[in-house]
Amino acid sequence: MAGGSVPVAGGRLYELILIPISETYAFFRYDQFVHIIGFGVATFVAWILLKPHLKEKIIGWKSLRIAVCMAGLGFGALNEIIEFFATMIIPQTGVGGYINTSMDLVADFVGAIIAVFWIRIKNGRL
């Protein structure tokens, strides 16, 4: 929520470019950083919720990795749907358009992949 209301360098924190990767797209912004962290955490939470329901010995770890990653991406997609409805109700939300949504989903994917690797390192599996 701070991204849209905290003024930084003549704009909002949401628009702050952390690392200028592309001249064409405003990427890598504070917004994408928040998506990487937030949906990495969401992926980790999905793992924590799923873990008690798993058998002791699992053969299909690759499939489970994909499922946990997809759970994190599902949370990210839900967030983008909520942002879409917000722009329908309040047109001046400043959320952005198609490119913003796409970059957010890519950032969600990066966060989910990082979380899956983190879980694998910490648990010795997944």
User: pLDDT tens, 62-110?
Assistant: 888 899 999 999 999 999 999 888 888 887 766 667 777 888 899 999 9
Domain count across the chain: 1
Question: What is the per-residue pLDDT for 64?
Answer: 86
Within a domain: residue 3? Answer: no
Within a domain: residue 92? Answer: yes
pLDDT confidence bin for 14, thresholds 50/70/90: low
Domain hosting residue 78, numbered range:
30-123
Position 5, amino acid = S
Within a domain: residue 90? Answer: yes
Within a domain: residue 11? Answer: no
Cβ 95 vs Cβ 85: under 8 Å: no
Within a domain: residue 37? Answer: yes
Quick check: 31 pLDDT over 80?
A: yes
Within a domain: residue 78? Answer: yes
Q: Which of 49, 67, 126, 107 is nearest to 118 (CA)?
A: 126
